[in-house]
């Protein structure tokens, strides 16, 4: 129950033949209207994949009728040939669906630097267009076709009085601020202008996908797109839309955290008492990203000294004499000095909460991350070979 729950959408996921494994690798999402407003948030990486460059152009108009997504190749660092492949993909989708190429956005994920086989891709688009459905299974098929090292398909839904928001995502590593190597499509049958959609989407992404940080990397392909069909006939406020987008995006972010590459611990870093929300995010992100903290948590070691050291080098206001660190509910560092018995902090479970209280102001933030495990090293040292 995701993309196709809101009225006015069809989806599919098929095997085009881009993946050597023969698993599904091409998804198509179509907005049947009556409205076709859309908005998107893209990677801030200066090295942008061809589908990102394409989608940024077509989104300038604030409307979309379809999104083609593929796994099995990122189409990044592929130069003019890669951009032509992207353009041809949109043209093919427009041709078989009966609208213009400017109505089609693109998302790709996989290895950077290899050209996508254009014929295989275009044949896949044609095949996908013939299998579009508005069933729950069709949404799941789309979510499945964009998986790379993901082990489970990721879908979410927020229901409101008479309208709803559905969403799918992929991403299991290389996830970081700005949603690195994360693709996500949200659909809603609410009525909204593209300006309202974009404002609501940015507000949602800022407190959901942007607060998930697995390894600090940022990809060439990150994209979150929202399509609005208006089929419910209901026009929520920007705040109502943002709240629904946030609900779906937070749910999807949690699913990505749980499925991140090599994860054995789901870690939440919560910072309170910061001088500002921005400082809270900075401290939480620095702790979440610190390799020594992440390896300690993998070892179920409540090594609060590493948390304190990481907080101390974050680019934020901090008074070491006011610093408290609590791990899984046990206060281990109070006023910058050892407090409780570290053996009381039980980190043997899969969920770890690291709380850092700065005692300076009202700024708060949470970052979701994972431990740094042998499996992470294993999976990422063998990805392209």
Nearer to a second copy, 51 or 82 (CB): 82
Q: How far is CA 20 from CA 13, 72, 152, 163, 210, in A?
A: 17, 8, 19, 40, 32
The pair phi, psi for residue 9, each rounded to 5°, is -125, 145
- Tokens representing residue 194 in the block: 């593209």
**Which one, of 112, 144, 118, 117, lies nearest residue 23 by Cα?**
144
Residue 148 labeled ligand binder: yes
Closer of 350 and 378 to a second copy (Cβ): 378
User: Does residue 184 have a cis peptide bond before it, meaning omega lies within 30 degrees of 0?
Assistant: no
Least Å from the CB of residue 61 to a second copy? 25
Least CB distance to a second copy at residue 66 (A): 27
Please state, in angstroms and as integers, the Cα–Cα distance from residue 67 to each residue in 222, 225, 352, following that order.
14, 9, 37
Of the pair 201, 360, the CB lying nearest a second copy is at 360
Q: Report whether 229 belongs to an annotated binding site.
A: no
Tokens (6 digits) for 185: 């499509």
CB of 300 vs a second copy, minimal distance in Å: 8
Helices (H), the chain: 50-59, 79-97, 118-129, 136-145, 194-206, 238-258, 277-289, 291-298, 304-313, 374-381
CA 246 to chain centre: 12
Number of continuous H segments (helices) and E segments (strands) in the chain = 10, 15
CB of 163 to a second copy, least distance (A): 36
Report, in Å, the least distance between residue 95 CB and a second copy.
Answer: 28
Please report how close the Cβ of residue 32 comes to a second copy at its closest, in angstroms. Answer: 36
Helix 304-313 with 291-298: angle, nearest 10 deg: 160
Question: Has 264 been annotated as catalytic?
Answer: no
Q: Annotation-wise, does 221 bind a ligand?
A: no
* Residue placing its CB nearer to a second copy in the complex, 74 or 146: 74
Contact call for residues 125 and 95 (beta carbons, < 8 A): no
Q: Please, which residue, 75 or 229, has the CB nearer to a second copy?
A: 75
Helix (H, G, I), strand (E, B) or coil at 173: coil
d(CA 184, CA 136): 17
Min separation Cβ 318 and a second copy, Å: 5
Q: Is 31 labeled as ligand-binding?
A: no
What single DSSP character describes residue 109?
B
CA distance 104 to 89: 9
Catalytic residue among 37, 181, 220, 246: 181
List of residues contacting a second copy (CB under 8 A): 44-48, 74, 76-79, 82, 111-115, 173-174, 178, 180, 215-220, 289-292, 295-296, 298-299, 301, 303-306, 308-313, 318-320, 323, 332-333, 335-338, 372-374, 376-378, 380-385
Nearer of residues 95 and 301 to a second copy, judged by Cβ: 301
- Shorter beta-carbon distance to a second copy: residue 60 or 377: 377
Contact criterion met (CB below 8 Å) for 304 and 342: yes
Q: Which residues are annotated as a binding site for substrate?
A: 148, 170, 181, 261, 380, 385
Q: Which residues are annotated as a binding site?
A: 148, 170, 181, 261, 380, 385
Catalytic residue numbers read 181
């Amino acid at each position: 129950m995701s993309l196709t729950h809101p009225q006015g959408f069809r989806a599919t996921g098929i095997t085009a033949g881009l993946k050597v494994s023969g698993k599904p690798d091409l998804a198509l999402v179509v907005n049947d209207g009556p409205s076709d407003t859309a908005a998107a948030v893209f990677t801030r990486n200066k090295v942008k994949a061809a589908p990102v460059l394409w989608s940024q152009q077509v989104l300038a108009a604030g409307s979309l009728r379809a999104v083609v997504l593929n796994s099995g190749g990122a189409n990044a660092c592929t130069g003019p040939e890669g951009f032509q492949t992207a353009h041809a993909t949109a043209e093919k989708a427009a041709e078989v669906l009966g609208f213009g190429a400017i109505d089609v956005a693109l998302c790709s994920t996989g290895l950077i630097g290899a050209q996508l086989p254009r014929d295989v891709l275009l044949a896949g688009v044609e095949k996908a267009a013939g299998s579009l459905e508005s069933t729950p299974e069709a949404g799941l098929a789309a979510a499945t076709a964009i998986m790379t090292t993901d082990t489970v398909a990721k879908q979410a839904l927020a229901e409101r009085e008479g309208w709803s928001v559905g969403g799918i995502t992929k991403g299991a590593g290389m996830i970081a601020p700005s949603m690195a190597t994360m693709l996500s499509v949200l659909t809603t049958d609410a009525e909204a202008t593209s300006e309202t959609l974009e404002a609501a989407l940015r507000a949602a992404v800022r407190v959901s996908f942007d607060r998930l940080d697995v390894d600090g990397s940022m990809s060439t392909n990150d994209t979150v797109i929202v399509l609005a069909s208006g089929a419910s006939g209901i026009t929520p406020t920007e705040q109502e839309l943002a709240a629904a987008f946030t609900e779906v995006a937070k749910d999807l972010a949690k699913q990505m955290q749980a499925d991140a590459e090599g994860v054995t611990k789901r870690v939440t870093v919560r910072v309170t008492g910061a001088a500002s929300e921005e400082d809270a995010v900075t401290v939480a992100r620095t702790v979440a990203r610190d390799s020594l903290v992440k390896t300690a948590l993998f070892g179920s070691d409540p090594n609060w000294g590493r948390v304190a050291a990481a907080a101390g080098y974050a680019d934020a206001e901090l008074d070491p004499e006011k610093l408290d660190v609590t791990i899984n509910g046990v206060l281990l560092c109070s006023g910058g000095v050892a407090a409780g018995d570290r053996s009381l902090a039980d980190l043997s479970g899969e969920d770890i909460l690291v709380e850092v209280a700065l005692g300076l102001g009202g700024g708060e933030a949470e970052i979701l991350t994972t431990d740094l495990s042998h499996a992470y090293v294993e999976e990422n040292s063998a990805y392209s070979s």
